[in-house]
């Protein structure tokens, strides 16, 4: 990498973080605009039953999550030898095209198709942009580089999503998505101008990245992420109707609730990163316990204004507190394939997004009320906690086997 001035280095880092900001917008924006999307794209269904139409519109969230699940490991494997700057620019181009297509598509099905296309780039962007940011900061700063990129996503939840949600409520959800496409276009230009070329990782290959899937522990930890964090998405996906139909606040309060949840997410990831470095196991287990308690509190108390806002903050904080520890655990389970490990983490988180939104929509459509999705989230979090305990016990058992096996071998030799 060429020698950079301090100004250009920070401009490049901000450009990469802006991409994370755009990803936060496009991933979480639909959650605050589901009623508007349902009224526009599913008018007959909405006139017949608003809850059913909103639940169907939840596929905006589910299909995006499925796109990330499919795209993250696929792109990570196929682009193992592609220079990261070129990869990031290409991924941003895909995000611009998919998001703009969603904004102008005339039917619900075509809107979903655009969402899926944009989502394919999501997980790979975080991996490649994190590598670029780490290179810009210098050796020993990989964690800081990744944090800067993810910091854009948390900033989106704190500031961007509420602002763009308010724009969508006043000017229409299509205008909101065009604004997100503009953010991606701006990021593409900024990355092209400020980020220097960085070679692909030496020795990288699709085979080396795919080798991660040979580890049973990778699959187990991926299940922990996918099921355990889906409880958060069962709550987050239906914040808008809970705010208006359960708590009884006007639609203008939805951006404020989302901002409070975004504040919790920002606090959670900052504290969670420090906690994960100190004690990975405790961070995962205590994190799941906190997520379980906060989702249960939301389910019980969201009918009141104070309960809604306090619950939203705590759910956001607990959900992001656990993410750094889960990602570290997953990367540790895939030695020699860190890019794939990060991609699997993104896929698992978005599978959680898909599960939470789809299952939450199903229980709402069954007539059990908007808060039934939160109670579903309680159950999903309990399952995730159980799987987390199992994963740590499995790791401990394997470590013990690796220590005792040589002793057993030597004992057998003496007897022989």
Tokens 């309990």 sit on residue = 382
pLDDT for the residue numbered 339: 66
Model confidence pLDDT, tens digit, residues 154-194: 888 788 888 898 899 899 999 999 999 999 999 999 999 99
DSSP 247: S
Q: Please tell me which residue, 115 or 73, carries the higher pLDDT value.
A: 115
Share of the chain above pLDDT 70, in %: 87
pLDDT (average), residues 208-226? 79
- Per the model's pLDDT, the better-predicted residue between 172 and 266 turns out to be 172
Q: What is the DSSP string of 297-362?
A: HHHHHTTSHHHHHHHHHHHHHHHHHSHHHHHHHHHHTSTT-HHHHHHHHHHHHHHHHHHHHHHHHH
CA dist 357 and 258 (Å) reads: 16
* Average pLDDT of span 252-268: 87
Rounded Cα gap, residues 148 and 80, in angstroms = 22
**Mean pLDDT computed over 213-228:** 85
Total Cβ atoms within 10 A of residue 41: 22
Listed residue (370, 392, 266) closest to 318, CA to CA? 266
What average pLDDT does the chain have?
A: 84
Is the Cβ–Cβ distance between 330 and 345 less than 8 Å? yes
Number of Cβ within a 10 Å radius of residue 326: 27
Query: How does pLDDT run across 282-292, given as a tens digit for each residue?
Result: 989 999 999 99
Helix and strand element counts for the chain (H, E): 20, 0
Q: How far apart are CA 160 and CA 109, in angstroms?
A: 26
The whole-angstrom separation of Cα 23 and Cα 341 is: 19
Give the pLDDT confidence score for residue 415 in this predicted structure: 34
Looking at per-residue pLDDT, the higher value among 407 and 371 belongs to 371
What is the residue extent of each domain of the chain?
A: 10-197+204-403
For residues 245-253, give the mean pLDDT.
90
CA–CA gap between residue 246 and residue 356 (Å, rounded): 19
* Max mean pLDDT range (198-207, 267-276, 294-303): 294-303
Tokens of 205: 């290959």
pTM: 0.72
Q: Which of 14-23, 60-69, 145-154, 279-288 has the lowest mean pLDDT?
A: 145-154
Question: Using an 8 Å Cβ cutoff, are 81 and 193 in contact?
Answer: no
DSSP result, 136-202: HH-TT-HHHHHHHHHHHHHHIIIIIHHHHHHHHHHH-HHHHHHHHHHHHHHHHHHHHHHPPP-PPPT
Given a cut of 70, whether residue 324 has pLDDT beyond it is yes
Q: Give pLDDT, residue 266.
A: 83
The string of pLDDT tens digits covering residues 126-159 is 878 877 887 787 765 555 666 677 778 888 878 8
Right CATH number for 10-197+204-403 from 3.60.40.10, 1.10.150.450, 3.90.700.10, 1.20.1250.20? 1.20.1250.20
Looking at per-residue confidence, does 131 or 231 come out higher? Answer: 231
Q: Report in angstroms the alpha-carbon separations of 1 from 4, 43, 62, 71, 84.
A: 8, 54, 39, 28, 12
Question: How far apart are the C-alpha atoms of 268 and 153, rounded to whole Å?
Answer: 13
Q: Please tell me the number of Cα atoms within 13 Å of 220 on its side-chain side.
A: 17
Whether the Cβ atoms of residue 164 and residue 29 lie closer than 8 Å to each other: yes
376: confidence class by pLDDT, cuts 50, 70, 90: very high
Within a 13 Å sphere around the CA of 337, how many CA atoms are in the beta-carbon half?
24
User: With 90 as the cut, is the pLDDT of residue 318 above it?
Assistant: yes
Number of C-beta neighbours around residue 303 at 10 A: 13
Structural contact between residues 84 and 130, judged by C-beta atoms closer than 8 angstroms: no
CA distance 276 to 264: 17
Q: Summarize pLDDT for 194-213 with one digit per residue, the tens.
A: 988 776 655 556 666 676 67
- Check residue 192 and give its pLDDT: 94
More confident residue, 241 or 337: 241
């Amino acid at each position: 990498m060429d020698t950079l001035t301090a100004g250009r280095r920070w401009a490049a880092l901000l450009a990469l973080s802006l991409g994370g900001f755009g990803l936060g917008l496009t991933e979480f924006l639909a959650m605050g605009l589901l009623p508007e999307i349902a009224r526009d794209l599913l008018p007959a269904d909405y006139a017949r039953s608003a809850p059913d139409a909103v639940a169907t519109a939840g596929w905006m969230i589910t299909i995006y999550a499925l796109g990330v699940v499919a795209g993250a490991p696929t792109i990570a494997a196929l682009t193992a030898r592609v220079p990261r700057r070129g990869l990031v620019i290409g991924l941003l181009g895909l995000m611009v095209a998919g998001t703009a297509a969603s904004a102008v598509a005339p039917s619900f099905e075509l809107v979903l198709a655009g969402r899926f296309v944009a989502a394919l780039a999501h997980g790979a962007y975080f991996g490649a942009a994190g590598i670029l940011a780490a290179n810009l900061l210098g050796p020993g700063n990989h964690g800081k580089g990744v944090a800067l990129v993810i910091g854009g996503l948390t900033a989106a939840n704190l500031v961007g999503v509420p602002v763009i949600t308010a724009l969508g409520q006043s000017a229409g959800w299509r205008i909101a998505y065009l604004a997100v496409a503009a953010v991606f276009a701006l990021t593409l230009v900024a990355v092209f101008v400020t980020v220097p070329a960085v070679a692909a990782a030496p020795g990288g290959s699709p085979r080396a990245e795919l080798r991660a899937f040979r580890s049973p522990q990778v699959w187990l930890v991926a299940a922990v992420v996918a099921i355990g964090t889906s409880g958060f998405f069962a709550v987050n996906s239906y914040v808008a109707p809970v705010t208006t139909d359960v708590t009884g606040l006007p639609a203008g309060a939805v951006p404020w609730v989302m901002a409070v949840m975004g504040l919790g997410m920002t606090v959670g990831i900052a504290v969670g990163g420090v906690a994960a470095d100190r004690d990975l196991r405790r961070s995962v287990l205590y994190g799941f316990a906190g997520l379980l308690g906060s989702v249960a509190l939301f389910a019980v108390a969201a009918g009141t204004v104070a309960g809604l806002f306090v619950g939203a903050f705590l759910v956001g904080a607990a959900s992001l507190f656990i993410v750094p520890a889960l990602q570290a655990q997953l990367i540790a389970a895939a030695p020699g394939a860190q890019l794939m490990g990060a991609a699997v983490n993104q896929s698992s988180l978005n599978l959680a997004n898909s599960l939470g939104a789809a299952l939450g929509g199903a229980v709402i459509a069954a007539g059990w009320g908007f808060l039934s999705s939160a109670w579903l989230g309680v159950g999903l979090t309990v399952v995730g906690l159980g799987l987390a305990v199992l994963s740590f016990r499995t790791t401990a058992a394997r470590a013990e086997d690796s220590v005792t096996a040589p002793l057993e071998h030597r004992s057998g030799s003496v007897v022989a």
